[in-house]
Chains A and B, each alone.
Chain A
Amino acid sequence: MKTQNNKAWFLVLPVLILVSISAIIPLMTVVNYSVQDTFGNNEFFWVGTEWFQEVLNSERFLNALKRTLLFSALILAIEIPLGIFIALAMPKRGIGVSFCLVLMALPLLIPWNVVGTIWQVFGRVDIGLLGHGLASLGFDYNYTQNVFDAWVTLIIMDVWHWTSLVVLLCYSGLVAIPEVYYQAARIDGASRWSVFRFIQLPKIKRVLLIAVLLRFMDSFMIYTEPFVVTGGGPGNSTTFLSIDLVQMAVGQFDLGPAAAMSLVYFLIILLVCWIFYTIMTSFDAQAAASQKKG
């Protein structure tokens, strides 16, 4: 596509300036830090790729990365099917619709740190409803000491907080499917599973992909909730990349390695986004091709 009108560039100029102030300049600062060392006094020494090598070879980083990936994988494995399932179960018309939608939207409206605090209190063995309840039922539940319990708590919390997003996205895709598809499927004698497999899933695959992308990014970058609930513990068992990064940069003031680490972190996210982008544009190309013919 050739540029048809140079005015367009003029119109996007404000955005370009804004983005460069808010994103590009800070990013370049990080790049700057990642290749230098400092001992205070604003004195910097060129160290090349040393920090990158250190970060990539450090067990601490790799463990945090593994934990984060595992966390994201678990989140996706639970929230996506659960979200689809709930979306399918929601009413398509009637007064139940708005009730369900409001109910679904509620957790999304609560700020991250509040969510963390809620669950932190909720799960406490001494005063929390969940923690105390489980304890009184004889379960040995304690998220501050048991690694498994800590993970379960974080995952349940995230599922509680974010499954609604998947539900809402899938629901929007589902209600857009014309009634006639369901009628045709009934006439064709399709089972409930076939209807899902051959009508609903293909029709919502686009929004589903967006849901997967959003949930991956969010869970991969999760910080506030585990920070509030577990603080990364017990031990380092819930120290995800983001928590590790902050500990390194703010706690230990290791600016160089922290900068290198954030860049690696950034690149991983960029890579994932690119993969999603490629898949989605191929969907679009298919859709465009069929539309042009049709």
Chain B
Amino acid sequence: MASIELKNIAHQYPSEDKSGPYALSSLNELWQDGGAYALLGPSGCGKTTLLNIISGLLQPSEGRVLFDGVDVTDLSPEKRNIAQVFQFPVVYDTLTVAENLAFPLKNRGMAKDKISERVAEILSMLGLSDRANEKAHSLTADDKQKISLGRGLVRTDVKAILFDEPLTVIDPHLKWQLRTELKKIHQQFRHTMIYVTHDQTEALTFADKVIVMYGGSVLQIGTPEELFETPAHTFVGQFIGSPGMNILKANVDGALAIVDRIQVALPGNYRKIDDEVELGIRPEYISLSQTEGIQAETVSIDDVGKHIIVRCRLEHQIVSVIVPEGTSIPDKPRLVFAQDKINIYQNAVLVRPTG
């Protein structure tokens, strides 16, 4: 296991246009030994590029990668001693399931009895024990991806295990099973794990720390709770949560915000901000009331089973509200914003209250 440090990492894919966009721009990160990290962001945000730079499949155009303080930037993936699982299943067709799992160990010259012991462990963990001697090419996509995962987990001495959207091709129910399995493995063995995904649920549930990326740079690093409660950027607020955070145009002065000519009490005092100011509040932190709160008009009601998503119009702007199943929703409800859950953004960046 190792800590991973990125120093001024930047990457530009080779192209004719030298002034072209950076896939990654000057990243400085230190990830702790034994941590579970998730790189979360939409496609094209540079998360896979970053992962491949860490594993050594890609050479960054600038910057250094350090494992436990040792510069590994110029080392090949096999020398870096990491494991990586890819988005689509990669199996060695002509080998059996067990041989596939043994492959990375055999290549590193592990003793035969040790290999078979370790392979048997992984097989039972993945529920593939009874298919150990089948040829890998005859398996379903689900099972093939399990083998890919298994090959990532089979080595015990790796510096880190990297996952590149490993559950994309997996059915929802199996996803739950494999994800919790990964979580258990992490808690048990404390490998440094880095998990790339565009799926917020996967990122938040898997990781201790989530790194939200957009356009080649990191917008926020935080625990799932921090990302949910105090997104550093409006993009993070909207990207995390379904529906995402309500971002409303507002004017802020002191402890009051004006949204659509309506006064909203803020959790603290803010200095006067003149730029573009927005107020962010999660749909989970708005409740409907008969008696108090902001007058609104119901636009749509979506019962999605475990709760109801109500879209309401204030004067101009639309807000989403999540209410428990079975709630009856009036045409003209009043909305109560949980005061201490309100965040204020200046030019899309979080502003803290002054006192």
Contact = CB atoms under 8 A, between A and B. Distances in A.
B57 interface: yes
B138 A187 contact: no
Contacts of A187: 55, 57, 77-78, 82-84, 104
A48 B148 CA distance: 64
Contacts of A180: 86-88, 90
B153 to A, nearest CB: 13
A190 B92 CA distance: 11
A96 interface: no
A147 B93 CA distance: 46
A293 B84 contact: no
A198 B57 contact: no
B78 A186 contact: yes
Most chain B beta carbons < 10 A, residue from A184, A199, A289:
A184
Interface in A188-202: 188-191, 194, 198-199, 201-202
Contacts of B82: 187
A283 to B, nearest CB: 11
A33 B221 CA distance: 87
A173 B148 CA distance: 23
Interface string A155-185: 0000000000000000000000010110110
B107 to A, nearest CB: 4
B249 to A, nearest CB: 44
Interface stretch (B139-147, B209-217, B232-240): B139-147
Contacts of A186: 57, 76-78
Contact of A189 (B88, B93, B107): B107
Given A183-B57, A294-B141, A194 B86 contact: no
B92 A286 contact: no
Contacts of A190: 103, 107
B84 A183 contact: yes
A22 interface: no
B104 A189 contact: yes
Contacts of B90: 180-181, 184
Interface string B86-107: 1110101111000000011001
Contacts of A188: 103-104, 107, 151
Contacts of A184: 84, 86, 90, 148, 151
A290 interface: yes
B114 interface: no
A198 B92 contact: yes
Contact of A294 (B52, B57, B92, B144): B144
Interface of B: 52, 55, 57, 76-78, 82-84, 86-88, 90, 92-95, 103-104, 107-108, 137-141, 144, 148, 151
Interface of A: 178, 180-181, 183-184, 186-191, 194, 198-199, 201-203, 286, 289-290, 293-294
